[in-house]
Structure 1
């Protein structure tokens, strides 16, 4: 029988965290907020947060949007994922970000800033004219030519 004990270095290494971020689409625009936190302070990011135990990506996306903006969403789909290591936030953080796409359940809903200690506010931005600076995971996918809009909406 193999020894199942973990090495001391494995026990002291922080485990990667999983975040779910949502590209909420409205026409040719996406919802972005300017962050108020140690990680990515003053950068623009889509709504999202940490995946809770037993939660699906879709459940996390809907919960985080409701908690942060008060918006109900639908047609939630997986887009891509990024693997990010941040070393500028005091202690190193390894964050896997799962990017989802969704639309408003009711197009007349308006975003509210329900976590003003974490975000300066929400607004809609044209995908071809995004504000700067973007938080690193979004910046890295944008640089690859990534586009959150369904292909059939561009024709």
Structure 2
């Protein structure tokens, strides 16, 4: 409830002891052959260096679909129509014990325009389509778990929770 000292637009504070989760979006982009687009993370990347991962990003005061569209254009020069995507999977993960939990919304589409380009070379050094049966060995573990979940028809996967 707002008081005279609080702005009605101020975000609510989480109760003491609450751990807020980071929300990220991931693009499960499939070509006509059923292959999925993955990017090779830069070896010096703060997250998952030298491994393959979805095109992804964190929501920044925007809707998840707006984030997906923005990240696809910023990272790879791809134009995604939010009307042509569907929620394909949700992954709730903890990368390392004690880290902030993350909720990843994985949006699936087979429609886009543009050819994947390296637009953030400090984060990604290559794009490639992979057949789900032939994913690279060096892949982010929850990326593999998500691909497996989508192929099995599951909508939700947990990774890293003990």
Superposition TM-score tier, normalisation by shorter sequence:
0.7 to 0.9
Stretches of structure 1 lacking an aligned partner (at least 5 in a row): 150-155
Aligned to 2:145: 140
Query: Which one of 99, 106, 126 corresponds to residue 92 of structure 1?
Result: 99
Stretches of structure 2 lacking an aligned partner (at least 5 in a row): 1-12, 154-162
Aligned to 2:74: 67
Q: Distance in 1 between matches of 2:37 and 2:30?
A: 7
Relative to the length of structure 2, the TM-score reads: 0.73
Does residue 29 of structure 1 match 2:38?
Answer: no
Aligned to 2:6: none
- State whether residues 45 and 135 of structure 1, in contact with CA within 8 Å, keep that contact through their aligned partners in structure 2: yes
The structure whose residues are more often strand, as a share, is 1
Relative to the length of structure 1, the TM-score reads: 0.76
Q: Distance in 2 between matches of 1:139 and 1:30?
A: 11
SS of the residue corresponding to residue 86 of structure 1 reads: coil
Q: Distance in 1 between matches of 2:146 and 2:130?
A: 17
Give the CA RMSD over aligned residues: 2.5
